[in-house]
Amino acid sequence: TARAARRELPSHLLAARAAYVLRGNDTGTLVTAAPRLYPHMWSWDAAFISIGLAHLDVGRAVAELDTLLAAQWSGGMLPHIVFTEGGADEYFPGPDRWGTHELSRQAPRGPLTSGICQPPAHAIAVGRLLEIARRGGPVDRATAEDFVRRSWPKLYAWHRWLAEHRDPGGDGLLAVVHGWESGMDNSPRWDSAYAGVRPGADLPPYVRRDLRLVADAGMRPSDAEYDRYLWLVEEMRRVGYDPDRVVATSSFLVGDVFLTAVFALACDVLADLGEEFGEPATQVTALRDWARRGRTAVAATVDPATGLARDRDFRAGAWIGTRTIAGFAPLLCGGLDRAAERTLLSTLDGPDWCGHPGLLTSLVPSTSPADDAFRPRQYWRGPQWPVTGWLFGWAFARRGWAERAERHRAQGLLLCSDGAFAEYYHPLTGEPLGSLDQSWTAAVVLDWLC
Ligand code: 9YW
Say what the ipTM of the complex is.
0.97
Query: For residues 71 and 113, is the Cβ–Cβ distance under 8 A?
Result: yes
185 C-beta closer than 6 A to ligand 1: yes
Q: Rounded to 10 degrees, what is the CA torsion of 338, 345, 335, 295?
A: -170
In the chain the first and final C-alpha atoms are separated, in Å, by: 30
The pLDDT value given to residue 425: 98
The pLDDT value given to residue 113: 98
The pLDDT value given to residue 3: 58
Q: Which residues of 304-315 are buried (b: 16+ CB within 10 A; e: fewer)?
A: eeebbbbbbbbe
190 C-beta closer than 6 A to ligand 1: no
The pTM (predicted TM-score) of the whole model is 0.97
The pLDDT value given to residue 172: 98
Query: For residues 297 and 172, is the Cβ–Cβ distance under 8 A?
Result: yes
Backbone angles phi, psi at 366, to 5 degrees: -65, -30
Give nearest CA residue, ligand 1 atom 11: 38
The pLDDT value given to residue 217: 81
**Sequence letter at residue 282:** T
How far is Cα 362 from Cα 356, in angstroms, rounded to an integer? 8
The pLDDT value given to residue 324: 98
Cα separation values, 19 from 14, 70, 81, 252, Å:
9, 25, 23, 39
How far is Cα 38 from Cα 31, in angstroms, rounded to an integer? 10
Between the CA of 36 and the centroid of ligand 1 the distance, in Å, is 13
How far is Cα 134 from Cα 39, in angstroms, rounded to an integer? 32
How far is Cα 373 from Cα 443, in angstroms, rounded to an integer? 30
Atom of ligand 1 nearest to the CA of 220: 12
Between the CA of 187 and the centroid of ligand 1 the distance, in Å, is 12
Q: Length of the chain in residues, anyone? A: 450
How far is Cα 256 from Cα 247, in angstroms, rounded to an integer? 14
Q: Which residues of the chain have pLDDT under 50?
A: none
